Amino acid sequence: MLEGAARVIARRGVRGLRVAELAAEAGVSTALVYYHFKDRPGILRHALAFIGDRADRYTALAEGFPPADPADPRELLERTMLLEFQDLPEVRENSTAWGELRAHSVFDPELREELAQAGTAWVAEVAELLAAASPAAPGPAVGAAAERLTALLEGLSVRWLSGLLPLWHARELMREGVRAEIDLLGQGSSSHTHAFD
Amino acid sequence: MLEGAARVIARRGVRGLRVAELAAEAGVSTALVYYHFKDRPGILRHALAFIGDRADRYTALAEGFPPADPADPRELLERTMLLEFQDLPEVRENSTAWGELRAHSVFDPELREELAQAGTAWVAEVAELLAAASPAAPGPAVGAAAERLTALLEGLSVRWLSGLLPLWHARELMREGVRAEIDLLGQGSSSHTHAFD
DNA sequence: GTCTATAATACGATAGAC
DNA sequence: GTCTATCGTATTATAGAC
């Protein structure tokens, strides 16, 4: 039933989700949906949690996998970021639903808390990978790079999912972005501090 | 009336837009709204065009303005990108509405065409500024950098608007992003070409 | 062009049987 | 736990007068 909710959100968006459609998708009555989730916001809450868990699950895949496990940390980071850009139903569905929840949170303060938590954890994870790839870099610079990379990922993801950017191109831009940030971190902490504004 | 539509979209989102609310906002009856825009999709179409125009108008502001007009092209680019990150009602409203239309386009193919056009123009504009800031850089590299910077802007914008990122921080990350891409372009086109994947 | 109804329907939610 | 039936309301859209 939660899978059904994720599927419907990915197909219609958060506000496009109709309880009747979700019920049909899961092959049950609307009454049963309400029995389990109480009301519409309840559906959204559970779906959000489910989608978040599922994303964690396949993010964990980047570690422990085929070519070169303990290998180059830069490649591990690159692989992790590229996990979001795959034309597999589950990934596409998850990316779409997650992006929609993110976009929706602009208008729905209730969604923000859980989203903020997940978002912070995700940025921290990227920062950790980044730090491994560039051990000499100062903490704040790594944090900023992680925020930029995750924001870039989200921007590219929307373009891919709305068909504005072909998958291969999104992947290439993401890869180059990772390299750019790592280069920048490696380049050392000279000049680039500015106090104005 | 179009101002009203933009305002309501910024407040409730595309799918949260209610014809009655828009009518109230503009101080007219719902019937009059339908008289002018035909139906709900019509409202969206016109609102989208209006919001796009308004964005163009204030993007043009970055050129011809106070400190140092013919100055450093890098600073011009930086200023242009930062125009989206201002806590002024009109800017916030426009950013919110535009972001929402972008997000909504994932689910609504009809919105894509006009959105794609505006998006392409915007990327091209950034590419031009980028080329001016780094004249020696090869065209494709400049194009890629422009796509990354605009995608980064969009990702940061969503985070700012949903309260996940304070304005000053979004601005700082954007500024550093611009510098990173320009540095990268300046650094020359050595190594960074990859044929795998 | 602009209004006051009002029709038509879509949608969330619940009651009550099994 | 699960269903069928249905209620109440919110929302889009139109008719018809001014």
State the alpha helices, DSSP H only, in A105-138.
Answer: 109-133
pLDDT in tens, B165-192: 999 999 999 999 999 999 999 876 544 4
Distance A20 CA to D6 C1' (A): 15
At A101, which helix (H) or strand (E)? helix A89-104
In the structure encoding, which two tokens stand for residue B11, read together?
């407040």
In this predicted structure, what is the pLDDT of residue B193?
Answer: 46
Instruction: Report the range of poorest mean pLDDT among A22-26, A147-151, B97-101.
Output: B97-101
User: What one-character DSSP code corresponds to residue A61?
Assistant: T
In-domain check, residue A194: no
In-domain check, residue B73: yes
In-domain check, residue A176: yes
Phi-psi region at A93: left, alpha or beta (left = phi > 0; alpha = psi -120 to 50): alpha
- The range of the structural domain enclosing residue B175 comes to 56-186
Instruction: Report the range of poorest mean pLDDT among A55-64, A129-138, B158-167.
Output: A55-64
Chain A interface disruption, residue of B7, B48, B159, most A CBs within 10 A: B159
pLDDT above 70: residue A193: no
pLDDT in tens, A25-51: 999 999 999 999 999 999 999 998 898
Which of A50-64, A65-79, A136-150, B110-124 has the largest mean confidence?
A136-150
Query: What is the rounded distance in angstroms from the CA atom of residue A188 to the CA atom of residue A183?
Result: 9
User: What one-character DSSP code corresponds to residue B163?
Assistant: T
Q: Residue A134 is part of a domain; what is its CATH number?
A: 1.10.357.10
In-domain check, residue A41: no
In-domain check, residue B40: no
For chain B, residues with pLDDT lower than 70 are 62-70, 188-197
Q: What are the φ and ψ backbone dihedral angles of A79, each rounded to 5 degrees?
A: -65, -40
pLDDT above 50: residue A58: yes
In the structure encoding, which two tokens stand for residue B152, read together?
């980064």
The identity of residue B73, as a single letter, is P
- Cβ neighbours of B112 in A, within 8 Å: 162-164
In-domain check, residue B135: yes
CA dihedral A124, A92, A44, A121 (to 10 degrees): 0
The DSSP secondary structure of A16-31, one letter per residue, reads T--HHHHHHHHTS-HH
Query: What is the rounded distance in angstroms from the CA atom of residue B26 to the CA atom of residue B12?
Result: 15
Phi-psi region at A97: left, alpha or beta (left = phi > 0; alpha = psi -120 to 50): alpha
Query: What is the rounded distance in angstroms from the CA atom of residue A166 to the CA atom of residue A197?
Result: 37
In this predicted structure, what is the pLDDT of residue A67?
Answer: 60
Query: What is the rounded distance in angstroms from the CA atom of residue A187 to the CA atom of residue B194?
Result: 21
In this predicted structure, what is the pLDDT of residue B164?
Answer: 94
- Cβ neighbours of A171 in B, within 8 Å: 197
In-domain check, residue A61: yes
Choose the closest CB to B184 out of A16, A151, A183: A183
Q: Which position has the token pair 């309501």?
A: B8
Helix (H, G, I), strand (E, B) or coil at A161: helix
**Are B192 and A181 within 8 A, CB to CB?**
no
In-domain check, residue A174: yes
Across A50-78, average pLDDT: 78
In this predicted structure, what is the pLDDT of residue B68?
Answer: 56
Number of domains in chain B: 1
